[in-house]
Amino acid sequence: MLHLADSLTFSGRKVVAAWAALPLPALAGSSLPDVLSAHQQEVPWKFLSSWKEQKSSCCFAQSVVLRGICKERPGSCPGQPQPHLQSCESPEELLQQYLHTQFPGAFSTSHVLQQPCDTQHPFPQFFSPLLTRRGFLQDKAQAFPSAGVESIPVLAALQSSPLLQPLLSGLCRELRAPRLRRRSCSCTAGLEHDDFQEALEELKTLSQCYQTGFGADGSEDEADSD
């Protein structure tokens, strides 16, 4: 994981964000072009962090993995897939074209695996009753035996993204709070005040590496006088 994150970071960046659609919303019997065409307006994954919900509208670099939907099934699902997706010759090429459309200019690597994510016991059964045993959407909920959902299709990504700028600068502001700063300096063995301040400056500098020049958050400067 460390080497993968390192391959996605440059220009002073060191942090990547994790995203996942678990499961990937897909109708039973859908082909891969059908599934991706259904999400042309917005990628269906969610940010895997306790940070407030954000939209992933752009990124610098990313590594994406799709599992459980890789075979073509022409005509299996109603609706017309986008022509630029339908013309792709392989699942990998199709996913790469989709990422290029959603994140133009970003460096993207993609992998498509036929095997879905296994969700049998002891995986928690927190899924919607609208899912089939294989994790695909259906019109009506059905009662499952105790086995529940056995597998799901998944779309996941690690991204070096401007979204990390407010997250890192927010963390910096929290750590600058006087009460937390005093507690950190007194409770952390071997951490001197100067070392703590240096670490805060490094964190602030790191957050600035994720600015894109539009809507940059400079509110942490107000905390510098603290």
Structure tokens at 216: 């940059």
Which residues in the chain land under pLDDT 50? Answer: 74-79, 81, 214-226
139 and 38 in one domain?
yes
Residue 65, SS3 per DSSP: strand
pLDDT confidence of residue 223? 41
Peptide bond into 122 cis (omega under 30): yes
172 and 187 in one domain?
yes
pLDDT confidence of residue 212? 79
| H helices present in 28-133, as ranges | 32-37, 83-86, 91-102
Task: Give the Cα separation of 28 and 186 in Å (integer).
Answer: 57
Residue 157, SS3 per DSSP: strand
pLDDT confidence of residue 117? 95
pLDDT confidence of residue 75? 42
139 and 31 in one domain?
yes
Peptide bond into 81 cis (omega under 30): no
132 and 105 in one domain?
yes
DSSP 8-class letter at 27: B
Task: Give the Cα separation of 82 and 94 in Å (integer).
Answer: 11
Range of the domain at 198: 165-209
96 and 15 in one domain?
yes
Task: Give the Cα separation of 31 and 74 in Å (integer).
Answer: 7
pLDDT confidence of residue 152? 96
Helix (H) or strand (E) holding 168: helix 164-176
pLDDT confidence of residue 151? 95
